[in-house]
A = this chain, B = another copy of it.
Amino acid sequence: MVVVSKESEESLNQLFRALADGTRRSILVRSLTETPSVSELAARYAMSFAAVQKHVAVLERAGLIQKRANGREQLVSTNHARLQRAGELLEYFESIWRQRMTQLDDILLPKGK
């Protein structure tokens, strides 16, 4: 069962918005297989450290990643559950779509009654 629940619209907005940027998707993917520090991440992109730091902050606010202090470094890892949440909402849309298809089937291919 797909739960739509009381999750705030704003929370979903942030979730999808965070995914709507190539640099952030790249950071997210990297953090799926590694646990890079912010500066290790920054070294990979052709932009300032501060810019990457902002992208990380957007992902963090969206709940897609979390940071863990390790000495002077901040290690970035993904929040898998949160990533799944985006997928669940899309699955919910899918289910609405399928329901419609089923209804059309009922009209075109009546079985009961």
A contacts, CB < 8 Å to B: 9, 12-17, 19-22, 25, 28-29, 32-33, 78, 80, 83-84, 86-87, 90-91, 93-94, 96-97, 99-100
Contact = CB atoms under 8 A, between A and B. Distances in A.
B32 A93 contact: yes
A32 B15 CA distance: 22
Given A13-B21, A32-B97, A87-B94, 15 more contacts: A9-B22, A12-B20, A12-B25, A13-B22, A16-B16, A16-B20, A17-B17, A20-B20, A32-B93, A32-B96, A32-B100, A33-B100, A80-B97, A83-B93, A87-B91
A12 B18 CA distance: 12
Interface secondary structure of A, over-half rule: helix
B94 A84 contact: yes
Contacts of A33: 96, 99-100
